[in-house]
Structure formats: C-alpha cells, structure tokens
Amino acid sequence: MSTQVDTAVLPDSGDRPLVVLVDAPSGMERRLVDRWLGRVRGDAQAGGRGLEVLPADSEQLAARLTRGDNPLLVPVRVVWATDPEPDGTLLRLADVLTRGWALRNRARAARRSPPQHEVVVGRPATVRELLRRHRRERDSTDTADFVRFVARQATLALDRAERALTGNRFKVPREVASQIIGSAHFSREIRRLAAETGRPEDDVSAEAATDLESIVASLDPSAVDLFSGVLRPMHEKAWTVHADTAGLEPLRELNAEHALVFLPSHRSYTDPFVLADVLRSNDFPRNHVLGGDNLRILGLEQLARRSGIIFIRRSFGGDPVYKAVVREYFSWLSAKRFNLEWYMEGGRTRTGKLRPPKYGLLSDVASAVETRRAEDVYLVPVSIIHDQLQEVHQMAAEQTGATKTPEGLRWLAGYARAQRRPVGGVHVSFGEPLSLRAALSAANDPALDVRPSQTGEDTDGVAAEDSAARRLALQKTAFEVFVRINRVTPVTPIALAALALLGVRDRALTLSQVRRVVEPVLDYVDARGLPHTGIGSLRTNGGVAEALLSLRREKVVSAYTEGSEPVFSVERGHHIVAAFYRNSAIHHFVNRAIVELSILEVGDLTGRDALARGFQAALDLRDLLKYEFFFPDKETFREELIRELTLIDPDWQSGVDDVARTQKLLRQSRFLCAHRVLRSFVDAQWVVAERLAEHDPDTPVDEDALLDRSAAVGRQLLLQGKLHGPESLSRELFASAVRLASNRGLLTPSPPREGEPDLATRRRAFAAEIRGVVERVVTIDETDATNRQESAGVRP
C-alpha cells in the first residue's frame, strides 16, 4: 500500500483470500462502494477467489489479521469531485477548525445527479508484508498496535490514490506524532537520551512528546486555502509574480521519489507566501515551512500550523531532547517524502545580498540520509528577488542603529497596509537541485578545498560533538546551495540604476550619463549570458528614466528638474537602501572586479610569473571577501577567473608581451567595475582594521564597542571625504569585517606562535593589506573616470 494506484480495479490475489478494506465515513459512501463492489464481486468469485469486505477501522479487522491465512488487503475509498478553487467567501476560520469546507464540498458533490465521485483502490499488501514493515518501523509487538498500523497504511495508500485525481496539493501527513513516538527508531533515541542525561526514560519520553506536539504541523487543504487567502494581499497588490516554471520540471520528477528541501533567499516576510503560490499553481504539494517562535502571532498560530507552518525555537543547541525531536521529525518528513522549506540565512538580508548560512536544520535533515531513513533528499536553491521593497527603508535604518519592530498582530496589520501600493515585480527562479547524499560525500573530498572559514563559523545548532569532517561537509553543502542561488538570481534594471548612481560621490547624473555607465554593463551581461529581467530597456533614455523614477517614487533617488535637463542622485540618507538594490546583482560582477585588481597587482611581471602572481592576488582577495561573497572551490574559481580575463583580453596567452597588452586593454576598457562593486565593502573593512590597529594589544576586544567605534569614526572619515559613500557605514558590513579579523586571530590577545609576529604587528599588517586594496580600487575608479571623460567629454 505505498505508491502504485489502480482506479476501480481489484487486483489478482492468486490463491490468497482477498480482503477489501473500505474507508467510508458516511452511509452514502458505503452504499457507493457496495454498488461498485456489486459490479466487481462477480469477477472475483468467477476467478475462484474469496472476497471479504471490512470497514478499515472495524473491530473485526483484528480477528481477520490474526487468522493466519495471509490475505491480500486492498483499501478502497470514494473520492468526491472538488472545486478547482474554493470560493474564498465561504472559507471561514470555523470551517478550518471543523473541516466544514471539506464536508460542504462533499455534500455539494453528493447532491449532484449523478453524484460526482469516483472509487479509488490503493496499492494492496499482504498481512505478512505489513507485519514485517511493522516490526521494522514500530517498537511494539502488540496486536492492537499492528491493527492501528494496518489501518494507517490503508489510509496512506488511499491518500496516494486520491492525489492521482485531485492533485499533489492535497498531500497531507496524518497521525504524525503517534507514528514518531511509537517508532522503533525514536524509542531507541529516548533510551539513548535517558542514559546520557541520567534521567528516567518516562520523563524523557514525556518531554519529547510535549516538544513534538509543540512543533508538528498538520496540513489541511482548507486551512492552506484560508491562510493563503488571508495573507495573499500582503504581496498580490505590491508585486507581479514572475516565476521560472521551467526550473520546476526536473523537480517534479525528483519529487516522485524523494523529498525536496526548498532553500530560498530571504528579503521579505512575504517570500514564503509568494513561493507557496508559485508551487501551488504548478501542482506541487504544500511545503512544511520552518518559522521561528517569534512569528507565533496570537490569533493566527493555529491556522498557520494547520497550513503547514512549523514553529521552532530560534536556538536549541543546549536542549538535547528538543534537538532530538526536531531531528526525528525532519527524518520522518524526509522518509515520507514531504517537502520542507526554510531560509538558511536565518533572517531577511539587510544588505541585499545573501547572508552567511546557518547549518543546524540542514544537519537534522542530513541525519535522515546518513542513517538511511531516507535514501536521499534533494536541496532546491531558490532565488526570490523583488524590484523594490517597502520594508527596505526600515531594514536600512536598523543598520544605523534603529530598533527592530517586534512581530505581532499590530505589526502584521501595519505591514499588510504598507503592501497595498504596486512597486514592480517579484522574480522567483529555481537553481539546479543538489543531492544531499552526493553533496555530503563530495564535500569530504579535500581536493575541493572550500575552507569552513569561507562560509562562516556559526553552525546554529550543529552539535559540538559532531566530527569536524561532518561540520565541514555541512558547511560546504550549504555554501554550494548559495552559489547556485546566486547563479539564477537575475540582474534587474533597478539594480543597475543603483549601481550607476552609487559609483559617483556627491554628484548627480543626467539620463545620458547614467546610460553611458550602464551600457557597458549590459554588454557584459550579454557576453556572460547572465539571467536578467528586461534590462535591455536601459539602452534608451526612456528606460533609464523609468528605472530612476521608480526609485524616486520610493524616495531612494532624488531628481532636480529646474535646470536645462533633469539630473538624478541618491537621496540623502538613503545610500544604504540604494546599496540594497545594487547588491541584489553584485555577486555577478565580483569575479570581474577581482580580476581587475589582480591585473594591477601583477605590475611588470611577465609569463608564468605574472599568471602565478595574479592568481595569488585573486586568492588573497577571495580570502579578504569570504564573509561577504560566496566563491566556489579553488579550481572552479580559477576557471571562472580565466573566463573573465578572456573577456578583457581574448589573446592574453598569445606572446611574451601579453601582460602589458592585457593591462593596457584593461585601462582602456569601457567596463571597469571594481570601484562600483567592492568599494563599500573594503572601505568598511579598512575602518575596522584601523580601529583594531590602534587598540591596545593587551586588552581584550569588546566586539560591540568595536562596532560602535567603527561607526563613529567611519562617519568622521566620510565627512572628511576619505570614504567613498555612506553605504559603507553599515553595521552589517562592519560586523563582517570583525568576523574576518576574528578568523585571522586578531581579536583575542595571545602569545604569538613561534616565528609569528606579535598581535600589534599583525593588526597593522591587516590594516596595510586592506589599505592596499582600497588604493587599487581607487586606481580603477580614476582610470574609469578618465576613460569616460575622454570618450564623452563629461566627467561622470
């Protein structure tokens, strides 16, 4: 009773008795099944088979299962025709709590003449097959437990048969808590926890049952419809959804055999609702969506849980029972092929680009694969990007010290009101799915050389007792997911308009000047074949004006229109907002920026020496930026750099003078981007590094105080013109720089290792390294300005 569905046909039982288990909660349904059985009973008896009919939940089932003749059990159910889209006006909260919508739909179908229904037959199984499965899965030899197990398997088989008619969105889990608590695997886990903690098994089991009850989500189609109806206004008026549905086709095939874990980028509270609508409209089952306890909003929590939201604590590494419950629940969902969804960044991005991933939940899913509870699970990278977001202004304010508004009903109402104005499109793209089993195996290959420091050190619940190799494998896997998200994230007109305006300081640009900045970028996007959303419009002044006016409506850009022609600049105080939009596409240009700076670093070297020095300079920059961007393994990174170098100089390997020619072509290039892409990040690093260099090496560093001091001095340097723009004064950028310094051992006073300089010397070297990068970025900036001045007669 597991996967194969035959509609209205009884299987051949051979010499075994044939027992039909009828799932018919109403008298009408039992009569319809009896009528159907009347048509097929003769065929069965003519074939010499005995045919018995029992209610699936009847008391007679126990006696029939223990008779010893190993019958073939065949589950049968009536499926009523459903309305494709239930009338939203009829979906009331009381219906969800009482299953009223489902009952009303059944009644409507039954009243039609003839009744609109179909009898479905689930996949059969013999009693011995079910007994073997019961002994493998359950920690019980009790007959009553076996009878309940058989009834549940019949229900699951009929659910699968029904979905062949109604669609995958009606796939729902049943009796989850009882299945998990009674499983052999979880019983062993309870005994292990009791032994490790020295507590009685009954106490641990009771605590686990309570924890499980607090997190298990149910899926009721009526609740899903209602929840979507309540929350859809939070995005349907603000954005037009554009989805890459071609990316869903391979997922559909994978989902037939494996659970999928959707791992989207996270920019807005509406992301789960947007993705849910896209999947629903393409007949994917509803995901189980992970949400933090802070989103348990009074009045909506029960509805949310019945629509598949799993509320879990934001941190639970110190609670072994809770962690075991979460791991077991995820393993159960994965084994039963229910799809999951969570946001590995741990919260909405404040900068517009991906935040460092957290790995705790991935660890729990990985355990299902490692213990072979599930053969495999496929991770699905998902990019969700918005043309514009009303909430960006609040997130930007938080970067400069504003307090985050706590979630609640009042907050939700205000948030929903803010989404009533249309602001553009939201773009959903699906990256190449990643086999978790293959990823964990490949991540242990030392040749890939993706260091854990590249992806951060916050494991967010990955058990301390896990081996270093396992932690590294999880980090590499999460890292690869983010690389794949970036690959499918499109470049938008808004992102390029912000890129152009942030590239100049304290100046406004005309439409033609913005277009001259953007056109080489468009050529580069075409040459790379990068994903994008209608950026070709930026080749005209009208298209540029449309993008800038969109930003002006959101108070990101200001326009002066009283002169001979309009000029545009970033609105005072909103540079971090503009940077948010720019950063949504910035990852596509980071390798190009690194190549530009590496070519400058080569100097007068030639041949292999130049190539080796250039690649080492690129690796140094990769290490410097590892907490800001996601890079592939060294070999892939090298191949990507070579492709970038070839775009600058297609003949870079042609002769002994190739380096000088490449440097000349770079200086003359219409597309130089290091200053537009990296300046705010290296400026923030430089501010932090200089504060560290002046800090007493014998005094421990207070990180919060360091961040506050960096913000204060950074503002002074900006006023002095020593920083390029206010977008570098982001607390998140400063925090990334502090993590980099910590990774290099520059925060905690400690005796130097043998042959190593003291802490003060290493801090000064760190500051000098970043200062050198800033100087090269400035050189690219000056070269670009000179090129534009010569080509247009106007200094941009």
- Structure token pair of residue 324: 């075991």
Rounded to the nearest angstrom, the gap between the alpha carbon of residue 544 and the centroid of all alpha carbons in its chain is 32
pLDDT at 153 over 80: yes
At what angle are helices 703-719 and 731-743 packed, to 10 degrees?
120
The stretch 432-441 carries a mean pLDDT of 93
The stretch 154-158 carries a mean pLDDT of 83
Any idea what the Cα angle at residue 637 is, between residues 631 and 641, rounded to 5°?
120
Q: Which of 753, 752, 774, 598 is nearest to 690 (CA)?
A: 774
Residue 50: pLDDT band by 50, 70, 90 thresholds? Answer: low
pLDDT at 87 over 60: no
Rounded distance between C-alpha atoms, residue 518 and residue 286, angstroms: 41
Contact 384/345 with Cβ under 8 angstroms?
Answer: no
Rounded distance between C-alpha atoms, residue 70 and residue 128, angstroms: 6
Residue 79: pLDDT band by 50, 70, 90 thresholds? Answer: confident
What pLDDT was estimated at residue 3? 37
Rounded distance between C-alpha atoms, residue 586 and residue 584, angstroms: 6
Residues in a beta bridge with 469: none
The stretch 482-505 carries a mean pLDDT of 95
Phi/psi of residue 4, each to 5°? -70, 135
Between the alpha carbon of residue 353 and those of residues 383, 583, 605, the distances in Å are 11, 5, 36
pLDDT at 385 over 80: yes
- How many CA atoms, within 13 angstroms, populate the side-chain half-sphere of residue 691? 26
What pLDDT was estimated at residue 24? 85
Work out whether the CA dihedral 328, 169, 424, 406 comes out positive or negative. Answer: negative
The stretch 86-101 carries a mean pLDDT of 46
> Tens of pLDDT along 728-775?
999 999 999 999 999 999 998 877 778 889 999 999 999 999 999 999
Residue whose entry in the numeric block shows the structure tokens 């720019």: 582
Contact 75/154 with Cβ under 8 angstroms?
Answer: yes
Any idea what the Cα angle at residue 790 is, between residues 784 and 795, rounded to 5°?
65
What pLDDT was estimated at residue 615? 93
pLDDT at 688 over 60: yes
Q: How many CB atoms lie within 10 A of CB 510?
A: 18
- Single-letter amino acid, residue 369: V
The stretch 139-154 carries a mean pLDDT of 82
pLDDT at 568 over 80: yes
The stretch 491-520 carries a mean pLDDT of 93
Burial of 297 (0-12, 13-18, 19+ CB in 10 A): middle
The stretch 204-220 carries a mean pLDDT of 87
What pLDDT was estimated at residue 293? 72
**Range with the lowest mean pLDDT among 95-109, 232-246, 481-495, 626-640?**
95-109
Report which of residues 460 and 310 the model is more confident about. 310
Residue 586: pLDDT band by 50, 70, 90 thresholds? Answer: very high
Rounded distance between C-alpha atoms, residue 616 and residue 603, angstroms: 13
* Alpha-helix residue ranges (DSSP H) falling in 66-220: 93-98, 100-111, 127-137, 143-166, 176-181, 184-197, 201-215
> Tens of pLDDT along 234-252?
677 778 899 998 889 899 9
Report which of residues 604 and 268 the model is more confident about. 268
The stretch 616-624 carries a mean pLDDT of 96
Residue whose entry in the numeric block shows the structure tokens 């938008």: 492
Q: Tell me what the pLDDT averaged over the chain comes to.
A: 84
Rounded to the nearest angstrom, the gap between the alpha carbon of residue 330 and the centroid of all alpha carbons in its chain is 16
Contact 353/583 with Cβ under 8 angstroms?
Answer: yes
Residue 82: pLDDT band by 50, 70, 90 thresholds? Answer: low
Rounded to the nearest angstrom, the gap between the alpha carbon of residue 86 and the centroid of all alpha carbons in its chain is 30
- Structure token pair of residue 552: 């002006």
pLDDT at 444 over 90: no
- How many CA atoms, within 13 angstroms, populate the side-chain half-sphere of residue 450? 26
What pLDDT was estimated at residue 174? 64
Residue 673: pLDDT band by 50, 70, 90 thresholds? Answer: very high
Phi/psi of residue 628, each to 5°? -110, -35
Between the alpha carbon of residue 648 and those of residues 56, 524, 641, 645, the distances in Å are 71, 10, 11, 5
What pLDDT was estimated at residue 42? 60
- Structure token pair of residue 8: 């209205």
Rounded to the nearest angstrom, the gap between the alpha carbon of residue 566 and the centroid of all alpha carbons in its chain is 41
Rounded distance between C-alpha atoms, residue 587 and residue 531, angstroms: 12
Does the bond joining 114 to the residue before it have cis omega, within 30 degrees of 0? yes
The stretch 184-196 carries a mean pLDDT of 89
Contact 153/130 with Cβ under 8 angstroms?
Answer: yes
- How many CA atoms, within 13 angstroms, populate the side-chain half-sphere of residue 481? 35
Contact 314/292 with Cβ under 8 angstroms?
Answer: yes
Residue whose entry in the numeric block shows the structure tokens 């775009």: 647
- Structure token pair of residue 628: 């800001």
Report which of residues 278 and 38 the model is more confident about. 278
Burial of 501 (0-12, 13-18, 19+ CB in 10 A): buried
pLDDT at 101 over 60: no
Q: Which of 517, 597, 518 is nearest to 780 (CA)?
A: 597
> H/E element holding 475?
helix 468-488
> Tens of pLDDT along 117-139?
788 888 899 989 988 888 887 76
Q: Which of 590, 594, 584 is nearest to 488 (CA)?
A: 584
The stretch 479-488 carries a mean pLDDT of 95
Q: Please name the residues in contact with 585: beta carbons below 8 A apart, sequence gap of 6 or more.
A: 489, 490, 491, 492, 495, 496, 499
Q: For a pLDDT cut of 70, what percent of the chain falls above it?
A: 85
What pLDDT was estimated at residue 113? 52
pLDDT at 453 over 60: no
Rounded distance between C-alpha atoms, residue 445 and residue 475, angstroms: 13
The stretch 707-721 carries a mean pLDDT of 95
Residue 608: pLDDT band by 50, 70, 90 thresholds? Answer: confident
Rounded to the nearest angstrom, the gap between the alpha carbon of residue 313 and the centroid of all alpha carbons in its chain is 18
